[in-house]
Amino acid sequence: MPNRWWIYQRERFPVFAHTPIIAAFSLSAVSYSALLRGIHHLPGWKPCIVGFASSFLFFLQLRLADEFKDFEEDSRYRPYRPVPRGLVGLRDLGWVWAGCIATQLALALWLAPKLIILLLLTWIYLGLMSKEFFAWRWLKTRPIAYMVSHMAIMPLVDLYTTSCDWVPAGVDRPPNGLLWFLLVSFFNGMVVEIGRKIRSPQDEEAGVETYSFLWGRRNAIRAWLGMVVCTAGFAYVAALGIGFARPMFFLLLVLFFAAAGVGIYFLQGAVPNRGKLVETMAGVWSLLMYLGLGFVPMVLRQWAAA
């Protein structure tokens, strides 16, 4: 029993790969909210723990939602995946989903019961996503609308994570300027989404609609870099709000040139597995961008005040 769950996480939700990015995302969200409120020291351990644990479970729920809504397609085209091949069943994953909800609810009650309102809002959107908003056929023929509708969950997760700072502090509404951070999350979600679905021709699979298959390799890279630029623009504006614009500008510039280099390298030849470099770069971009936008400036402020 433990071994099959270990295999499942390794194939579908690798904990050791996801944890650093989710930790950077959650700690930076809590820190950014505190900085907007004029707090120049790291939030308490409770908001950080609840923010990280809740975010981690939200991302796990996103993976579980994919397993349910893609089950028939996976059974037809990707029978090697854990659920179609019988490693774990949908009923098992349903119990995991229930455990996620119970844990998130307990964490919210522990930190600040008012969090339940935003938690419920995020759960509702997650539920609609798992049902493809009851418009599966319409969305399936419109990949951009599909991506945008699914990426809208990112600002909701981010809003809830930041609320782990401002709600316990007794603030009735999100701090001014938080919208820019939420927009960063929305566009960064598309950086990650497009980046993980760009492949070399030899790695394309029947029935799997990657963006490199739908748009062509060159256009997919262009779209990916376009989302990188959009995310960078909003990240710079968000950094202005906390007085960290100049360091953030140089960080974003370095990351953009690195991403552009990876994109050019990918297009130089139809080499198997080269699409993994784009996916990896999307992860590196997310990790460093989030750290530079919230956690790092907070640590520097705290050291300066010490």
Give the residue among 198, 222, 224, 221 at the shortest CA–CA distance from 209.
198
pLDDT given at position 104: 97
Enter the tokens of residue 71. Answer: 């089950």
Predicted pLDDT of residue 109: 97
* Alpha-carbon distances, residue 271 vs 44, 214, 251 (angstroms): 48, 19, 30
**Residue 281 corresponds to which tokens in the numbers above?**
């770069």
Beta-carbon contacts of 205 under 8 Å, excluding residues fewer than 6 positions away, are 77, 78
Over residues 228-275, the pLDDT tens digits come to 999 999 999 999 999 999 999 999 999 999 999 999 999 998 888 888
Q: 108: Cβ–Cβ under 8 A, 6 or more apart, which residues? A: 50, 54, 115, 116, 119
What pLDDT score does 206 carry?
77
Number of residues that this document lists for the chain:
306
**Looking at the predicted structure, is the pLDDT value of residue 163 above 70?**
yes
1: confidence class by pLDDT, cuts 50, 70, 90? low
Cα–Cα distance for residue pair 24/58, rounded to 1 Å: 15
Convert the pLDDT of each residue in 48-66 to its tens digit: 999 999 999 999 999 999 8
Asked whether residue 189 carries a pLDDT value surpassing 90, the answer given is yes
Tell me the residue type at 223.
Answer: A
Tell me if 86 sits within 8 A of 60, measured CB to CB: no
Tens-place pLDDT, residues 102-130: 999 999 999 999 999 999 999 999 999 88
pLDDT grade, residue 185 (50/70/90)?
Answer: very high
> Using one digit for the tens of pLDDT, what is the confidence trace for 69-79?
888 888 888 88
Whether the Cβ atoms of residue 28 and residue 295 lie closer than 8 Å to each other = yes
pLDDT at 306: 65
Cβ-Cβ contacts under 8 Å for 100 (sequence gap 6 or more): 57, 60, 61, 64
Contacts of 128 (CB under 8 A, 6+ apart): 134
Instruction: Report residue 248 as tokens.
Output: 């953030």
Q: Is 155 helix (H, G, I), strand (E, B) or coil?
A: helix
Confidence of residue 41 (pLDDT cuts 50, 70, 90): confident
State CA 127 to chain mean position distance.
Answer: 17
Q: How many CB atoms lie within 10 A of CB 52?
A: 21
Q: How confident is the model at residue 29 (pLDDT cuts 50, 70, 90)?
A: very high
User: Residue 265's pLDDT is what?
Assistant: 94
Structure letter (DSSP) for residue 244: -
Tell me how far apart the terminal alpha carbons of the chain are, to the nearest angstrom: 50
Integer angstrom CA distances of residue 81 from 155, 189, 298? 29, 24, 41
Average pLDDT value over all residues in the chain: 92
Report how far Cα 195 is from the mean position of its chain's Cα atoms.
Answer: 12
DSSP structure class, residue 141: T
The Cα 27–Cα 195 span in angstroms is 23
Answer for the pair 154, 119: CB distance below 8 angstroms, yes or no: no
What is the model's pLDDT at position 138?
87
CB 184 within 8 A of CB 292: no
Rounded Cα distance between 210 and 195, Å, is 10
